[in-house]
């Protein structure tokens, strides 16, 4: 029954090995070592060739029991064995008949540190294990499922060894997809894991706090009882009862030490050197957690006073005093804790029962709410960004990489992906999915933390050699111990060796695990997600609300996909077209800022397949359906990175050094940044961004009307393509109109009917060079007279024609500035503009064109405009066309040379040259502006020509 095929890492080897053998993907593999040949394309532009055997790219997916990729989170429960916890998207349709329980068993059976025990020999106290994550690629050829599996552990006070193993898996039907996206997957899942772990450490510290409170309380009660007994009974008689009490007291004391020690250990977490280059976690989370732990440490050191450890405490106190008199605050906090009504310490039974009926915490409880939410969002985003098949992902990335190379001319006709710069920094920067601005309520002692935050944050950033003096005395010893422990601990071996050893080990654990899992399969299927019994310490949101909300949002999100699922029923492979249209429908509105032309590629394939109207029409209703819910969701989903850029530097450097990404398969191909990346880069641009801001931007985006004035989405552009095609076919003077726009002459579309004018404007907006980030060079509807500055600001204006006094002033402005504008009269169907006799635009504006579909025409336009931009680039950056080559040469010679170049080498006549000159001017201005942004203090320049206009009629 089990033929778990391991998948080897090398690209060439795509045969399945029929043994349950697992090999982790590591960077030592020969994967990234393909020696680049000098004449080849840069690596980021090359698509790895499929072996000939795989002539049908969808062949493999046919026997998978799920329709599309999903993310699975599983846990190896000490009670029930491996069990699935959560899938993303959280939709039963996604998994289909695929057996999640079985697959969880598979992926958890290679768990590498399940056998780790809490009490290593030689140390007095139980140890927390500091385990790096492991990354494995698994395959199950029978099921047709392949998975990238990311194992990690979370701390739980009640768990065996205080450790609960979990894993996240990216499950796909295509093995190659996983292998080739390994780096990105690894990065994404590391981020998610770090996020969970950060939350977990905080939760763990909190749990320890609670536990310590209980213990202290128990201790005091026992002491009192003992005292009473001592008073009551005769001095020298030790009854069995008294002995028992004394033992109990001793046990409690021991327990207190143990837990205090655990607290120390967890606070020392960040000092561990991380082997894992992806494991750079958010400094802010880290330092916050550290801070809290240290505060707790101080607190319980003090409470331990009656136990006779005053010496140590006073030491710590004096240290504190030296440190700047923070004692006052601490006392206040102490009192605050004592006064805190929310938690009453409970008496702890001498023998805490470790039995199976005890309820274990679920994932949400293990990590704090915020972190859990953030992680789920991160994973959702990951799932979104990996949608589509490999081919699609590659073209998308190629497109992005090419985009990045063309920064200088991109702005002309393509949507301005301003995230380019941020993008690169993004991958280098440790990522934090948590919205830091929003998490204030999570602090254990909010006022204190807020006050001291800056200083403490600095502390957190201090290099290892200079630990915080406040905790130095109390933790140095432990640190040393820990260091030794870590060095000898198997869990701290390098990732590679550890995993290879685990690979062999997994034989046995696999089998035993299987038995266990079979026994408890029925148990596992019951999801033990009861209400939280002791959620009183922190104000946690309603537990029950969460799954409902999530599932409902998922439902809505996948609404668009349902039709596709229906058409692609009966396990037929999901065709590229479907994926694409679905993606478009879904992402069209989500990715307004990012997607743009990236999604053009699949559209191209659609056109090639000549499925008339399929793509275009199919996308429409879906998009409409999904627009509402998605846009509603966006505000709550948008995570914000609220970090001081300079604060990130140390860790960034560290990260860069250890980064294997330079050897990865996709050098230069960063993670596809979708909505998440956008949101992050956008908000990080605006310094001091906060939660409200991110929500407001989100809602702004959601509220922006489809079309005019707002940012131009792909769908709108396609629609505009249709409109442009119609314009070109209907108006015989379309060429002249296009020439006006392309040569920088403001075109005014005059009309009485708003709808018609707006339609014309949105069609013509395609031809406006440098339309701005949200099409701000286009004014779709204006009903007041315009001024000179408006003419410069807007290159395309829709103007209302009114027969009223107000209208006459509009007409006055029209006539006054007539030399600067061209006027397209939508009602009379006339165009007044300078004469155009060139040939350049004949191809673009042929009213007898054979192109019938808007999207085709749009692509045709894109290519033509792209060619234009390339010419403009050449022209702009050719030195001798602008500057004299010898000192004797005058400007006339240069002028002549330029003219000659334009006419003879580019074959442009006078009017066509003007287009190029205008584009070149834009490029020059942009290039000059890029560095000295202060020049925007002066207004922009507006150039024009004194040319006679003529009136064109249909």
Partner 1 sequence: MLRWILGGREAQSSVEKSPVLCIGEEQPKNRFTELQVLKGHFDIVRFLVQIDDFRFASAGDDGLVLVWSIETGERLQELRGHSQQITAITTFACSDGVTSLLTASSDRSLSLWDPGTGNRVRTISDLQSSVKCLLVSERLRVWVSGGEELCVWDKDFQLLCHRQKHSDTGITALVELPKNCIAAAVDKEIVIYSLTVSADPSVSVTETRRCSEHHDQIRALININDGMFASGSHAGELILWDSTNFSNLAYEHILWEESHPSCQTEIKLAAPKPSEMSIQHLTTNGRLILAAVGSGLYVYDVASKAVVAYRKAAHDSNVLHTMLLSDSELMSCSEDGSVRMWEIQDLPLAAEPASAGFFGMWTFGRSSKQPGPQQKKVLEIPNLRTLELTGDLIGHSGAVQMFLSFGEKGLVTCSTDHLLILWRDGERQSRLRSQALFQKLEQNGGL
Residues in the chain, total: 954
Residues β-bridged to residue 166: 75, 152
Does residue 121 interact with partner 1 by CB under 8 A?
Answer: no
Choice between 507 and 927, CB closer to partner 1: 927
Pick the closer one to partner 1 by CB: 609 or 752.
Answer: 752
The dihedral sign for the CA sequence 591, 758, 775, 921: positive
How many other C-beta atoms are found inside a 10 Å radius of the C-beta of residue 722?
18
Min separation Cβ 786 and partner 1, Å: 10
**Max CA-CA distance within the chain?**
122
Shortest Å, Cβ 85 to partner 1: 50
**Residue 556 near partner 1 by CB under 8 A:** no
Q: State in angstroms the smallest separation of the CB of 645 from partner 1.
A: 23
Question: Does residue 933 bind partner 1 (CB under 8 A)?
Answer: no
- Of the two residues 451 and 752, which places its CB atom closer to partner 1 in the complex? 752
Element (H, E) at 70: strand 70-77
Two tokens, residue 659? 């980064």
Q: Which is nearer to partner 1, 185 or 923 (CB)?
A: 923
Stretch that binds partner 1, among 265-273, 334-342, 547-555, 939-947 (CB under 8 A): 939-947
Number of amino acids touching partner 1 (CB under 8 A): 52
Q: Where are the alpha helices (DSSP H) in 591-713?
A: 600-608, 614-637, 649-658, 675-685, 691-703
- Write out the binding residues for partner 1, residues 122-141 only, by CB under 8 A: none
CA distance 216 to 307: 10
Q: Residue 369, SS3? A: helix
- Asked if 951 touches partner 1 (CB under 8 A), the answer is yes
Least Å from the CB of residue 819 to partner 1: 5
In the shown chain, the binding pattern of residues 854 to 883 toward partner 1, with x for contact by CB under 8 A and - for none, equals ----------------------xx-x--xx
Report, in Å, the least distance between residue 783 CB and partner 1: 15
The answer to whether 486 touches 130, Cβ cutoff 8 Å, is yes
Smallest separation, CB 817 to partner 1 (Å): 7
CB-nearer residue toward partner 1: 706 or 935: 935
User: Among candidates 691, 680, 696, 677, which has minimal Cα distance to 437?
Assistant: 691
Minimum distance from residue 830 beta carbon to partner 1 (Å): 5
User: Based on the number of CB atoms within 10 Å of its own CB, is 351 exposed (0-12), middle (13-18) or buried (19 or more)?
Assistant: exposed
Least distance to partner 1 from the beta carbon of 808, Å?
Answer: 6
- Which of 343, 873 has the CB closer to partner 1? 873
- Answer yes or no whether residue 935 interacts with partner 1 by CB under 8 A: yes
Measured from the CB of residue 398, what is the shortest distance to partner 1 in angstroms? 20
Q: Which residues contact 319 (CB under 8 A, 6 or more apart)?
A: 469, 470, 472, 473
Contact yes or no for 445/295 (Cβ under 8 A): yes
CB of 38 to partner 1, least distance (A): 20
Closest to partner 1 by CB, 580 vs 750, is: 750
**Alpha-carbon gap, residue 301 to 327, rounded angstroms:** 13
Residue 137, C-beta contacts closer than 8 angstroms, at least 6 positions apart: 7, 9, 23, 24, 25, 146, 147, 148, 149, 178, 179, 182
Copy the structure tokens of residue 304.
């331990």
For partner 1, give the closer residue by CB, 204 or 817: 817
Q: Which stretch binds partner 1 (CB under 8 A): 259-267, 364-372, 696-704, 922-930?
A: 922-930
Nearer to partner 1, 360 or 906 (CB): 906
Enumerate residues 172-231 that contact partner 1 by CB under 8 A. Answer: none
Q: Name which of 12, 4, 33, 9 is nearest 23 in CA terms.
A: 9
Q: ∠ at Cα 21 (75, 515), nearest 5°?
A: 50
Gap between the Cα atoms of 706 and 627, Å rounded: 10
DSSP annotation string for 133-148: -EEEEEEETTTTEEEE
Compute the least distance from the CB of residue 832 to partner 1, in Å: 6
Residue pair 366/200 in contact by the 8 Å Cβ criterion: yes
Nearer to partner 1, 179 or 831 (CB): 831
Structure tokens at 466: 């200079």
Print the binding letters for residues 779-798 with partner 1: x by CB under 8 A, - otherwise: --------xxx--x------
**Which residues are registered as beta bridge partners of 165?**
153
Q: In the complex with partner 1, which residue's Cβ is closer, 481 or 833?
A: 833
DSSP 901: I
Residue 876 CB, nearest distance to partner 1 (Å)?
7
Quick one: which of 250, 484, 784, 928 contacts partner 1 (CB under 8 A)?
928
Q: How far is CA 430 from CA 41, 269, 521, 561, 651, in A?
A: 31, 17, 39, 33, 7
Least spacing, CB of residue 282 vs partner 1, in Å = 34
Residue with smaller CB distance to partner 1, 534 or 776: 776
Binding mask 394-433 for partner 1 (x = CB under 8 A): --------------x-------------------------
The secondary structure of 849-886 as a DSSP string is: -----HHHHHHHHHHHHHHHHHHHHHHHT-GGGTS-SS
Among 483, 539, 645, 940, binds partner 1 (CB under 8 A): 940
**Cα separation, 523 vs 609, whole angstroms:** 50
CB-wise, 659 or 924, nearer to partner 1?
924
Q: 83 with 75: CB under 8 angstroms?
A: yes
891 binds partner 1 (CB under 8 A): yes
Examine residue 896 and tell whether it contacts partner 1 (CB under 8 A): no
Q: In 3D, which of 526, 545, 527 has the Cα closest to residue 369?
A: 545
What number of other Cβ atoms are within 10 A of residue 835's Cβ? 13
Query: Closest distance between partner 1 and the C-beta of residue 801, in Å?
Result: 6
Alpha-carbon distance values, 159 to 128, 353, 358, 362, 671 (Å):
11, 12, 10, 12, 36
**CB-nearer residue toward partner 1: 726 or 819:** 819
Residues of this chain, 797-856, that bind partner 1 according to CB under 8 A: 801, 803, 807-808, 811-812, 814-819, 823, 825, 828, 830, 832
Cβ distance to partner 1 smaller for residue 512 or 809: 809
Handedness of CA 635, 638, 643, 644 (dihedral sign): negative
* Closer residue to partner 1 (CB): 284 or 832: 832
Interaction with partner 1 in 453-512: which residues (CB under 8 A)?
none
- Minimum Å gap between C-beta 55 and partner 1 is 41
925 binds partner 1 (CB under 8 A): yes
Task: Give least dist CB 821 to partner 1, A.
Answer: 11
Q: How far is the CB of 923 from partner 1 (least distance, A)?
A: 9
Determine contact, residues 155/259, Cβ cutoff 8 Å.
Answer: no
| Nearest residue (CB) to partner 1, 27 versus 871 | 871
Least gap, CB of 775 to partner 1 (angstroms) = 22
Q: Interaction with partner 1 in 704-763: which residues (CB under 8 A)?
A: 750
The nearer residue to partner 1, 360 or 811, going by C-beta atoms, is 811
Q: Of 353, 545, 610, 938, which one interacts with partner 1 (CB under 8 A)?
A: 938
Q: Is position 944 an interface residue for partner 1 (rule: CB under 8 A)?
A: yes
Residue with tokens 């998922």: 554
Instruction: Return residues touching partner 1 (CB under 8 A).
Output: 408, 750, 787-789, 792, 801, 803, 807-808, 811-812, 814-819, 823, 825, 828, 830, 832, 876-877, 879, 882-883, 891, 894, 917, 921, 924-925, 927-928, 931, 935, 937-949, 951
């Amino acid at each position: 029954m089990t033929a778990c095929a391991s998948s080897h890492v090398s690209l060439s080897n795509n045969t399945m090995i029929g043994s349950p053998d697992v090999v982790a993907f590591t960077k030592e593999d020969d994967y990234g070592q393909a020696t680049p040949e000098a004449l080849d394309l840069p690596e980021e532009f090359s698509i790895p060739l499929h072996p000939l055997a795989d002539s049908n790219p969808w062949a493999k997916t046919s026997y998978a029991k799920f329709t599309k990729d999903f993310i699975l989170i599983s846990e190896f429960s000490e009670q029930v064995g491996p069990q699935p916890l959560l899938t993303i998207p959280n939709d039963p349709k996604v998994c289909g008949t695929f057996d999640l329980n079985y697959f969880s068993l598979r992926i958890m059976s290679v768990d590498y540190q399940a056998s780790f025990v809490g009490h290593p020999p030689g140390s007095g106290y139980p140890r927390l294990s500091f385990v790096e994550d492991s990354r494995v690629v698994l395959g199950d050829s029978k099921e047709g499922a392949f998975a990238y599996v990311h194992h990690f552990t979370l701390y739980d006070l009640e768990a065996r060894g205080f450790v609960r193993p979990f894993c996240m898996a990216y499950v796909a039907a295509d093995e190659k997809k996983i292998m080739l996206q390994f780096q990105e997957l690894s990065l994404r899942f590391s981020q998610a894991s770090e996020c969970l772990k950060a939350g977990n450490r905080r939760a763990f510290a909190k749990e320890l706090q609670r536990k310590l409170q209980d213990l202290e309380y128990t201790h005091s009660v026992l002491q009192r009882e003992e005292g009473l007994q001592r008073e009551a009974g005769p001095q020298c008689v030790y009854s069995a009862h008294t002995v028992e009490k004394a033992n109990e007291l001793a046990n409690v004391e021991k327990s207190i030490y143990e837990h205090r020690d655990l607290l120390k250990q967890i606070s020392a977490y960040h000092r561990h050197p991380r082997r894992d280059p992806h494991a750079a976690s958010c400094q802010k989370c880290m330092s916050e957690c550290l801070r809290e732990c240290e505060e707790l440490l101080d607190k319980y050191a003090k409470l331990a006073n009656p136990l006779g450890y005053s010496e140590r405490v006073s030491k710590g106190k004096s240290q504190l005093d030296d440190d700047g008199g923070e004692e006052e605050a601490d006392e206040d906090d102490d009192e605050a804790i004592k006064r805190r009504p929310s938690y009453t310490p409970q008496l702890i039974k001498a023998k805490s029962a470790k039995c199976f009926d005890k309820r274990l915490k679920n994932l949400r409880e293990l990590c704090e709410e915020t972190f859990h939410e953030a992680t789920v969002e991160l994973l959702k985003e990951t799932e979104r960004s990996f949608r589509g098949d490999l081919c699609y992902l590659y073209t998308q990335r190629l497109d992005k990489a090419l985009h990045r190379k063309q920064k200088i001319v991109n702005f002309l006709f393509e949507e301005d992906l301003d995230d380019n710069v941020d993008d690169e920094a993004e991958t280098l920067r440790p990522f934090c999915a948590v919205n830091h601005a929003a998490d204030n309520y999570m602090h254990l002692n909010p006022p204190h933390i807020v006050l001291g935050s800056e200083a403490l944050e600095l502390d957190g950033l201090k290099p290892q050699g200079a630990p915080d003096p406040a905790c130095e005395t109390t933790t140095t010893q432990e640190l040393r111990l820990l260091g030794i422990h870590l060095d000898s601990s198997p869990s701290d071996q390098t990732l590679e060796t550890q995993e290879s050893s685990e690979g062999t080990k997994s034989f046995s654990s696999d089998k035993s695990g299987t038995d266990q899992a079979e026994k408890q399969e029925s148990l596992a299927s019951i999801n033990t997600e009861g209400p939280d019994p002791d959620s009183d310490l922190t104000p946690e949101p309603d537990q029950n609300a969460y799954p409902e909300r999530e599932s409902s949002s998922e439902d809505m999100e996948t609404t668009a996909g349902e039709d596709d699922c229906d058409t692609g029923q009966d396990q037929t492979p999901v065709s590229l077209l479907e994926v694409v249209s679905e993606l478009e429908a879904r992402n069209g509105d989500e990715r307004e800022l990012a997607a743009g032309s990236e999604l053009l590629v699949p559209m191209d394939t659609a056109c090639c397949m000549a499925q008339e109207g399929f793509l275009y029409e199919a996308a429409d209703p879906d998009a409409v359906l999904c627009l509402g819910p998605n846009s509603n969701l966006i505000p709550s989903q948008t995570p914000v990175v609220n970090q001081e850029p300079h604060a990130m530097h140390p860790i960034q450097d560290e990260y860069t050094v250890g980064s294997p990404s330079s050897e990865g398969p996709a050098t230069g191909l960063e993670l596809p940044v979708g909505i998440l990346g956008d949101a992050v880069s956008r908000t990080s641009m605006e310094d001091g961004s906060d939660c409200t801001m991110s929500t407001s931007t989100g809602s702004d985006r959601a509220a922006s009307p489809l079309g005019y004035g707002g940012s131009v989405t792909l769908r709108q552009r396609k629609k505009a393509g249709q409109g442009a095609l119609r314009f070109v076919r209907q108006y015989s003077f379309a060429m002249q109109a296009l020439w006006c726009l392309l040569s920088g002459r403001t075109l005014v579309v005059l009309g009485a009917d708003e709808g018609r004018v707006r339609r014309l404007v949105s069609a013509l907006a395609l031809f406006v060079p440098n339309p701005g980030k949200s099409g701000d060079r286009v004014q779709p509807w204006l009903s007041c007279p315009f001024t000179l500055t408006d003419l410069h600001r807007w290159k395309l204006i829709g103007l209302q024609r009114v027969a009223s006094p107000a209208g006459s002033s509009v007409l006055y402005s029209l006539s006054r500035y007539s030399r600067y504008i061209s006027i397209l009269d939508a009602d009379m169907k006339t165009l007044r503009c300078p004469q155009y006799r060139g040939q350049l635009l004949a191809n673009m504006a042929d009213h007898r064109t054979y192109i019938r579909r808007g999207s085709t025409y749009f692509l045709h336009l894109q290519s033509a405009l792209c060619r234009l931009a390339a010419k403009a680039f050449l022209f702009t950056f050719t030195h001798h066309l602008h500057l004299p080559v010898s000192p004797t040469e005058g400007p006339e010679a240069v002028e002549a040379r330029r003219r000659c170049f334009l006419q003879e080498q580019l074959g442009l006549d006078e009017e066509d040259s003007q287009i190029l000159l205008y584009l070149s001017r834009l490029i020059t201005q942009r290039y000059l502006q890029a560095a000295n942004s202060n020049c925007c203090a002066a207004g922009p320049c507006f150039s024009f020509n004194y040319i006679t206009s003529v009136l064109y009629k249909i």
